Structure 1
Amino acid sequence: MDFAGAAMLVCALGWNALFKWGYIFANLTGRVRCGRPAETADLQGGVDLLIGKACAAHNAVTKGNFEVHRTLVEGHRND
């Protein structure tokens, strides 16, 4: 019910899929970081294109939800 705080409009290829599956996350400042290890070089290449970029949807309203996602992703990393 909190569309402004939980929704992020993104394309189906790229950020959304990589974010949903935990390959990337947004850190506390809204920068994209690497999440779980990619299984293929092509997948890692897609992740690498986003690492360090600013997440436009990260703001004062959404940062709590991004933090929850980051905690879940980092809790499942194998490194």
Structure 2
Amino acid sequence: MSAQGFGRVLLRQATRIGARRAETVAQRLCDEVGVILPDIRIWREGTRVRLGARGLRRRWTTDAALRWLGRLLR
């Protein structure tokens, strides 16, 4: 195998490993935030974490925990 071929194989493996890790971290974040904020729906779309609840926008301005979480999720 040539050096370029080996480099492509390593790059593909690294990409797959990185994608799996990002999904694992997103799921872990969903689980941990679900414990902290049990009244908010939290779901994962690939590597994105989404939040939903009735009146969430209004609560966003008054609840410091949500503001901190929003900065973390960006």
TM-score greater than 0.5 by the shorter chain: no
Q: Which has the higher contact order (CA 8 A, sep 6+)?
A: 1
Q: Which structure dedicates a bigger proportion of its chain to helix?
A: 2
Q: TM-score if structure 1 supplies the norm length?
A: 0.30
More strand by share: 2
